[in-house]
Amino acid sequence: MTLRDRRDIRIAVIGGGVGAVSLLDSLLETFADARQHQRRELSIYEPDPSRLAHGLAFAPDLDSAIVNLPNQRMTIRDRDCTHFLRWLNTRPEHSPGAGGDSPATSFATRQVFGSYLDEQFDRCLKSAADQGWQVRIHHETVLSVSDGADGGYVLHTSESAREHTHAVLAIGPGSPADPFDLVDAPGFLESPYPLKTVLPQVDPKDHVVILGTGLTAIDVALGLLYLGHQGPLTMTSRHGILPQISSGIALYEMQYLTAPRIREYARGSKGLYLADLWNLFKGELTAAGFDADAELSWLLPESSPMDHLRHQLRNPDANPVRSLFQNVPNELKEVIRSLLVPQEQEKIRTDYRTHLKSLQCPMPSTTARTLLSAMESGQLSIVPGVTGVRLEGSRFHVTAQTEVPPGDTVIDATKTSPAESKGAPGKLMSALTRDGYASWDYYGGLRVSRRTNQLHDPTGPGTAAGRTRGLYAMGELTSGSIYYASSLPAVNEGADIVAAAIALDQEFTSWS
């Protein structure tokens, strides 16, 4: 039996942004050679029509907002990394951006990549029609899920209830965090997007406090500088860690960070400890010809963000820490996660996850140069150790590791984990948990099968005939552990995994 013998297939995708485009493209390729089913249907649930295809991240915005990977690595296809670059080379009306010696190594603006997403979505819709798919777009918010007939699922919105054979959660990152409960304070901007609408509200002479030091915070700083902001800017977070600078990834043959060595450490200590991993990592750096202590010193709390930027810009082709991290295969990360003792898991969640994110989601060198120039001029400061922000009178007072002058405007560039997301996505996540379809791992990601991205059945194996068999998730919802799954390559990989899993499920069901 093969795919062509399967019953009707009706797939629902919850979320209509870049993840939906990547998944649709993957599904069309996966099912291209299968004989048409009696019914082949795809429904996309996206409540905001303005976010369809390009989402919020790649919507029309300021030219200061650029992608964080070179054009030769931006794509909706995990299997075709130059797909966007080839599209860009046929669109002379779109600038390839800056930061590289060629269009391939340059960084396009986010809105140019958004145009690519819009075109790919339209192409996919046409291809879907040619393959016999019926694609329906529902501008509705999914509030809950319940069991349907024949092992399917009913998606409930405020307007309707529709049954599908499979459902994929692709709702993107969490909501703005507002970590200091400033939502009603005058001068507090809960979200910076779209930059072109939000940032012009800021007085050009204000001292702006930006909560966060990640890519979103950098978008804010660059946007304000692009608009000619004259006042001081302070980016502040618990750790004060900036994303590392995008660089080539050197390939290393691991000699120390191997599954047998890691298991040996765990047996000797009755569990794995981060100090063990640190020693193994130092061994890899030394074996590769680097000064391990010097390279790893940039990850220590007392390191200077300004000095680290200077170091990376002076050595653009040598980032061995990032290269080694990217060389660690997912299978080995699984081994590490399974062996870490609970207190070390807690350290990753609270102390080191920001470091891991900075390695996996870097910034372009052109961005780093702009930030460094603003830091050297004294306009931009990076302040770690923030523990509070309060409004007193008309100004915001920051409690942090070093003294921060009172701010006039605060912009929130932080996000909650998907498990703590607010608004409609949070309500859906709560409903899935309450109704026994989903559970969360220790690090705030949905528990899924790493092989298929199927939601882990909270009731355990062998119960309810596999209650979550047709439920999948992709993107940051699946990050968990030491992974960061909302980067574009991770989203594309997730799309391929889900498409293949749905095809396999179709084939398996044909035998039943």
Reported confidence tier of residue 485, pLDDT bands at 50, 70, 90: low
Identify whether residues 199 and 337 lie together within a single domain. Answer: no
For the entire predicted model, the pTM comes to 0.91
My answer on whether omega of the bond before 194 falls inside 30° of 0, hence cis, is yes
The pLDDT tens digits for 341-353 are: 989 988 887 888 8
Whether residue 464 is predicted with pLDDT greater than 70 in this model: the reply is: no
Identify whether residues 41 and 159 lie together within a single domain. Answer: yes
Identify whether residues 298 and 345 lie together within a single domain. Answer: yes
Identify whether residues 197 and 314 lie together within a single domain. Answer: no
Q: Are 78 and 489 in contact (CB under 8 A)?
A: yes
Identify whether residues 400 and 354 lie together within a single domain. Answer: no
* Assigned domain for 287 exists: yes
Identify whether residues 337 and 374 lie together within a single domain. Answer: no
Residue type for position 156: H
Q: Domain end: 318, 336, 360, which one?
A: 360
Whether residue 508 is predicted with pLDDT greater than 50 in this model: the reply is: no
Q: Are 247 and 322 in contact (CB under 8 A)?
A: yes
Q: Provide the token pair at 457.
A: 């059945």
Q: Provide the token pair at 66.
A: 């650029």
The pLDDT tens digits for 206-217 are: 999 999 999 999
How confident is the model over 184-190, as a mean pLDDT?
96
> How many separate domains does the chain show?
3
The CA-CA-CA angle for residues 34, 35, 41, to 5°, reads 85
Domain that holds residue 375: 188-243+364-412
The pLDDT tens digits for 121-177 are: 999 999 999 999 999 999 999 999 999 977 799 999 989 999 999 999 999 877 889
Q: Are 155 and 167 in contact (CB under 8 A)?
A: yes
Residue 5: the pLDDT is: 39
Q: Are 219 and 365 in contact (CB under 8 A)?
A: no
Identify whether residues 26 and 166 lie together within a single domain. Answer: yes
Q: Are 445 and 481 in contact (CB under 8 A)?
A: yes
How confident is the model over 472-489, as a mean pLDDT?
79
Identify whether residues 237 and 375 lie together within a single domain. Answer: yes
Beta bridge pairs of residue 410: 188, 209
Q: Which residues of 62-217 form beta strands (DSSP E)? A: 134-138, 142-147, 153-157, 161-164, 166-169, 188-189, 208-211
Quick one: CA torsion of 501, 507, 511, 512, rounded to 10 degrees?
50
Q: Are 219 and 189 in contact (CB under 8 A)?
A: no
Side-chain-side CA neighbours of 144 within 13 Å: the count stands at 10
How confident is the model over 487-493, as a mean pLDDT?
90
Question: Rounded to an integer, what distance in angstroms lies between the CA atom of residue 218 and that of residue 211?
Answer: 10
Residue 337: the pLDDT is: 83
Identify whether residues 282 and 151 lie together within a single domain. Answer: no
Instruction: Match 């940032």 to its residue by tokens.
Output: 199
Instruction: Match 């692709």 to its residue by tokens.
Output: 170
The pLDDT tens digits for 79-128 are: 899 999 999 999 999 999 988 889 999 999 999 999 999 999 999 999 99
* Assigned domain for 446 exists: yes
* Assigned domain for 87 exists: no
* Assigned domain for 378 exists: yes
* Assigned domain for 317 exists: yes
The pLDDT tens digits for 351-396 are: 888 888 888 889 999 999 999 999 999 999 999 999 999 999 999 9
* Assigned domain for 376 exists: yes
Question: Rounded to an integer, what distance in angstroms lies between the CA atom of residue 133 and that of residue 474?
Answer: 22
Question: Rounded to an integer, what distance in angstroms lies between the CA atom of residue 301 and that of residue 384?
Answer: 9
Reported confidence tier of residue 482, pLDDT bands at 50, 70, 90: low
For the chain, the average pLDDT equals 90
Identify whether residues 228 and 374 lie together within a single domain. Answer: yes
**Domain CATH code at residue 491:** 3.50.50.60
Identify whether residues 322 and 408 lie together within a single domain. Answer: no
The pLDDT tens digits for 226-278 are: 999 999 999 999 999 999 998 888 888 889 999 999 999 899 888 999 999 99
* Assigned domain for 297 exists: yes
Identify whether residues 442 and 482 lie together within a single domain. Answer: yes
The pLDDT tens digits for 407-463 are: 999 999 998 877 778 888 889 999 999 999 999 887 778 999 888 999 998 877 544
* Assigned domain for 139 exists: yes
